[in-house]
Structure 1
Amino acid sequence: MENIDLEKFNTRTDLAYEAVTNTDQANLPDILVERSENQGINVIKTTIGPASANIVHKKPGLYYTVEIGNGDFHDNDTYERIEDVLRQVIEEVIAEEGMTGKRCLIVGLGNINVTPDSLGPYVLDNVIVTRHLFQLGTMSDDFSEVSAISPGVMGTTGIETFDIINAVKNEINVDYIIAIDALAASSIARVNKTIQVTNTGISPGSGVGNKRKELSKETTGIPVIAIGVPTVVDAVTITNETINYLLKFLANEYRGDTPRANALTGGQRLPLNYDEVKAPEDEMKQHFLGKIGLLSDENKRALIAEVLTPNGYNMMVTPKEIDADVEDLAKIISGALDQALHKAVNHS
């Protein structure tokens, strides 16, 4: 194991909170993590300072994580609660940038022909755009000037995504950009279950491993707020988490703590919340999986990557429900944007 270069196999995640929690907190001098609950939905505000930015491989700035959790966000009540919480977060980030009521360009990043990467374009199908109406002088003060563009991907346009956005920005003279894109997570539990909002911008295509030129205040000259949902996870992550879950499951069975199937559960075993299951001791890990069980998470990931990557097996994977998930997530984000940007849109 000494010969494995761990730097080649950094955990793939676009979520700042994951990057922070995957790092030894003692090595992060200027990280602030604040947790709150709003309407039963967890919101995590992560502030990354310049000293910690290189360690966690994230830009300094604000990152909000809205945790949808394991509930069914397709039902109307949960849908509306998530939308309202997200609206409040977006309003806070816009205010933090001093852009409340200013001219906004919404950018739907991604490839509409690839479902896990189609979140951005689908959001644009539902947002309220008003720039053309402002030019006609027919809009009230309860609306902001909003325009929108879906620049596609370089594989279909032949043009760098950033160049299209920057050209449009310069032509129509907007004050700030809100970009929506698909992301990647380092945990199965966060796929389609987390919404991240940040004031640090984004690199288009990062969610599907096709990182393009950064879209940020540094590259555009105006604030860039990014909204993203992890829609994919790589095979290394799935394999690593499966091993961890397997160890917890076996340890739970060994301790006799696993909920048993009975008539009330229809004869089916109740699901385990693996985040709450106590991790097995090293002796038990070795008993179940030998030396593999004793590897640290970092070494285990590196070993799995060594096995999968050379043969091209470290695939990006998405849930089978991705079509319905992306459709509803896009509506949640567009609804939250409309309410955050336009006073006239009902907030109830």
Structure 2
Amino acid sequence: MQFGIFTVGDVTTDPTTGRAPTEGERIKAMVAIARKAEEVGLDVFATGEHHNPPFVPSSPTTLLGYIAAATERLILSTSTTLITTNDPVKIAEDYAMLQHLADGRVDLMMGRGNTGPVYPWFGQDIRQGIPLAIENYALLRQLWREDVVDWEGKFRTPLQGFTSTPRPLDGVPPFVWHGSIRSPEIAEQAAYYGDGFFANNIFWPKDHFKRLIDLYRRRFASYGHGTPEQAVVGLGGQAFIRRNSQDAVREFRPYFDNAPVYGHGPSLEEFTEQTPLTVGSPQEVVDKTLTFRESFGDYQRQLFLMDHAGLPLKTVLEQLDLLGEEVVPVLREEFAKGRPAEVPDGPTHAARLAQASAVATAGA
């Protein structure tokens, strides 16, 4: 089981001080957060992709390439890569390059994004979001798996005798997750290819995400990739931790009340009751996270959102200390109990390379 954090890279005013970081400060804070994640023993750091204020991570490969040079073990991921508005050729090249630089510590999550205006900014039509996602990803897979590509589709110019460079490291493309908060078509796409499915699982009640994950597991099996239990699932989560819950609630409340996404809506108590958000002690975070398995089955990756809503860097780093020292070790131990042997581990380049070699040997 892999544990990590993901960031949306928002530049938000701290409601307790009235100060917002500069874009440069926020970008450097994300680097510091990634380095801290590795220091405290987490497995994954993931960044979103946005092209509009108040968000800064418009170039995930630039950010992740820099972090790759500053870390040794951390898996670097996206959350998400916009498969609809990025050219698949550029995605193929950029992430293969990053894969080489990071010695394989790279995967990516495909998504359509949650900002409608991004489509015309990149010359696309939001009404074609699902067809774009399906066609662009099919081309991306082909570019990574075939040395010479001839291709023609609806949404970009044809390719004739094209080779994407560099080729994927060791001939093994980065592992792909398909991220969705609302679209069964994306769960279907992940199942069709035997890829991972990531349910963000932070803003809505669990029943919504349970339907998507159950669909993905059933379809994964129907396409012949294994049993439903062998499907590769990732979940989002959200937490604010202090050693006692009263301190956590008191400190986090002004950030929650003014957060860009859910501020000025349901109360903190209502939101924590209805969604995976946990505001409390390390044990409360452990207890609530363990309930995810009851709803979604054994899964492979758990990411937490920890650095949003204007929280200062010092506070986020303190959160990561508590997460890495008091929450994740207990979760690793508890999630391992009773985990069936056939349930796969979280994807890594080394494991996928070994699998590819075994398949090639068996075929020979």
Q: Determine which structure has more spread, i.e. the larger CA radius of gyration.
A: 1
Same-fold call, TM > 0.5?
no
TM-score (norm 1): 0.29
TM-score (norm 2): 0.29
